[in-house]
């Protein structure tokens, strides 16, 4: 089929907008990478744009030796791994019964859950509840409020509803119970949506900031996001860190340290995403379209 002139103009404009959007995301990342790998003289002189000048790893070495970045990385890893496991478990255990037509009052329960997307109690009631449960200054204060995402649960429920009911009938004729049906059939067919929701939860827990800032007081329990934010905002802290280093490292600039901290924070998600990308679009579309 021949492409008309108006269609060619539309495609050209579309590609131009998409290219501009992609560059607006990519260029700042390249600039941060270049700053984190450049020497202090190049950074202070303003020569560093999108490619490292005088490539060095001194900023990363300083971060690993002179800051709590390593402990923050471990804390972020604990928060993310345990949080994703708990959230996926409760999301599946909520979505599966609500996808069954024989579940009692499933419409009312779904309405109550969806209601939480529009209204919530606010920060102060949440703090009081967590304090009464003894969860302040523990990771439970991070895991419990975000245990089940309503959006993710609805995507999972819709995915389960789209699985043919004939599979249920065939499995029950073979003596399959609810647990076996869920574990052996539904979850085995749900790899795309499971991978997609795992990525959603992982990004949310890895980037957890406000809850950590509000509910965690022990500096040894802070995650990487809060530690990097404190480093970026506290210029005097960076200067003090740099002054305590040997002379051959003391010339490192605060900008280089900030860039290195940001890179350490975002690299894990950049590494994980390619392995889940093939499931990403498929999982969201399958779980969001009924029929």
pLDDT of residue 16: 93
Query: May I ask the CATH class of domain 58-288?
Result: mainly alpha
How many angstroms separate the CA atoms of 208 and 195, rounded?
A: 20
Q: State pLDDT tens for residues 251-282.
A: 567 777 778 778 888 888 888 777 766 666 55
- What CA–CA distances, in Å, run from 31 to 25, 82, 201, 220, 260? 11, 33, 28, 31, 11
Q: State pLDDT tens for residues 133-143.
A: 888 888 888 99
* Residue-range domain boundaries for the chain: 1-56, 58-288
pLDDT of residue 237: 57
Residues of the chain with pLDDT under 50: 248, 250, 287-291
pLDDT of residue 21: 92
């Amino acid at each position: 089929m021949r492409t008309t002139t108006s269609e060619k103009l539309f495609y050209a404009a579309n590609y131009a907008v998409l290219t501009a959007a992609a560059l607006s995301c990519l260029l700042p990342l390249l600039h941060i990478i270049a700053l984190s790998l450049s020497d202090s003289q190049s950074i202070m002189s303003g020569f560093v744009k999108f490619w490292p000048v005088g490539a060095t790893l001194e900023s990363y070495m300083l971060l690993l030796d002179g800051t709590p970045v390593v402990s923050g990385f471990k804390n972020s890893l604990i928060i993310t791994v345990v949080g994703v496991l708990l959230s996926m478990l409760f999301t599946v255990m909520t979505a599966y019964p609500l996808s069954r037509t024989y579940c009692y009052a499933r419409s009312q329960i779904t309405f109550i859950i969806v209601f939480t997307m529009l209204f919530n109690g606010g920060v102060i009631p949440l703090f009081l509840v967590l304090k009464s449960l003894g969860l302040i200054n523990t990771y439970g204060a991070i895991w419990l409020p975000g245990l089940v995402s309503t959006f993710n649960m609805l995507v999972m429920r819709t995915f389960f509803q789209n699985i043919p009911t004939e599979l249920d009938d065939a499995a029950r004729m073979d003596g399959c119970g609810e647990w076996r049906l869920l574990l052996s059939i539904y979850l085995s067919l749900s790899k795309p949506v499971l991978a997609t929701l795992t990525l959603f939860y992982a990004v949310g827990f890895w980037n957890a900031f406000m809850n950590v800032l509000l509910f965690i007081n022990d500096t040894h329990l802070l995650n990487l996001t809060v530690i990097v934010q404190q480093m970026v905002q506290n210029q005097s802290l960076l200067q003090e860190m740099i002054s305590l280093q040997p002379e051959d490292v003391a010339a490192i600039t605060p900008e280089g340290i900030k860039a290195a901290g940001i890179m350490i924070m975002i690299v894990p998600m950049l590494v994980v995403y390619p392995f889940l990308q093939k499931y990403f679009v498929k999982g969201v579309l399958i779980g969001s379209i009924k029929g």
